[in-house]
Amino acid sequence: MAHVFFGYFAGMIAITSILVVALRNPVYSVLSLLVMFFHVAGLYVTLHAEFLAAVQVIVYAGAILVLYLFVVMLLNVKREDRYHSQWRIAAFVCIPLSIEFLVLLSGNMRAANRQPASLPVEPHVSDNTLAIGQTLFSTYLFPFEVASLILLVAMIGAIVLAKRDIGENEAKDMTRAPGAQ
């Protein structure tokens, strides 16, 4: 049964991730990425990470992809006609990577499958959210604070980058605009 679920989720994730790269229209790319995020969330549920699945749906599918769709529709992106001419470089990078991956995997498949029997398997924690919270606020407290600093820097950076530069002329226009109307 677990294999059936894994096969469904893995197949859909692989297909939609290839569609993200292959589709020419950016809106369709974003929508197939949305489908991929939902299936990744389903894969997290099968891996006993329920809280992470909820966070995946809320943050990735709810916040990040809405931001992408907003920018795609704001900029009125047309579909591109052809791919970049760097596809030879892409082939040179990816073919050795995939070959190396296959070699490593065929060598280590037996070792990886044998490993769980030797590990001390703890009884599974029933409350995933409670366990994550305790781990996050005890062991990983300092990285948690650093993550909040990253979010602050990103927020300030996005505001500074995306705001319109108010030069001399535009500032005059902005002060004059309400009086003119």
Residues 44 to 83 in contact with other proteins, rule: CB under 8 A: 44, 46-49, 51-52, 55-56, 59-60, 63-64, 67-68, 71-72, 74-75, 77, 80, 82-83
Compute CA distances 156 → 59, 60, 135, 164, whole Å. Answer: 20, 21, 29, 14
Cα distance between residue 151 and residue 144, in whole Å:
11
CA dist 79 and 177 (Å) reads 37
Selected binder of other proteins within 139, 166, 170, 174 (CB under 8 A): 139
Shorter beta-carbon distance to other proteins: residue 111 or 180: 111
Q: Tokens for 14, please give them.
A: 């692989």
Decide: is 129 part of the binding site for other proteins (CB under 8 A). Answer: no
CB closer to other proteins, 71 vs 171: 71
Q: Is 141 in the site for other proteins (CB under 8 A)?
A: no
177 binds other proteins (CB under 8 A): no
By CB under 8 A, is residue 113 in contact with other proteins? yes
- The least distance separating other proteins from the CB of residue 180, rounded to whole angstroms, comes to 24
Which of residues 76 and 181 has its CB atom nearest to other proteins in the complex? 76
Exactly one of 99, 158, 171, 174 binds other proteins (CB under 8 A); that residue is: 158
Q: Which of 96, 103, 108, 127 binds other proteins (CB under 8 A)?
A: 108
E strands, 99-162, in order: none
Beta-carbon neighbour count of residue 171 at 10 Å? 11
Name which of 2 and 180 has its Cβ closer to other proteins: 2
Count Cβ neighbours within 10 Å for each residue of 64-85 and write b for 16 or more, e otherwise. Answer: ebeebeeeeeeeeeeeeeeeee
- Residue of the chain from 117, 162, 177, 180 that contacts other proteins (CB under 8 A): 162
Both tokens of 55, joined, read 């966070």
Assess 132 for contact with other proteins (CB under 8 A).
Answer: yes
| Dist. CA 42–CA 20, nearest whole Å | 19
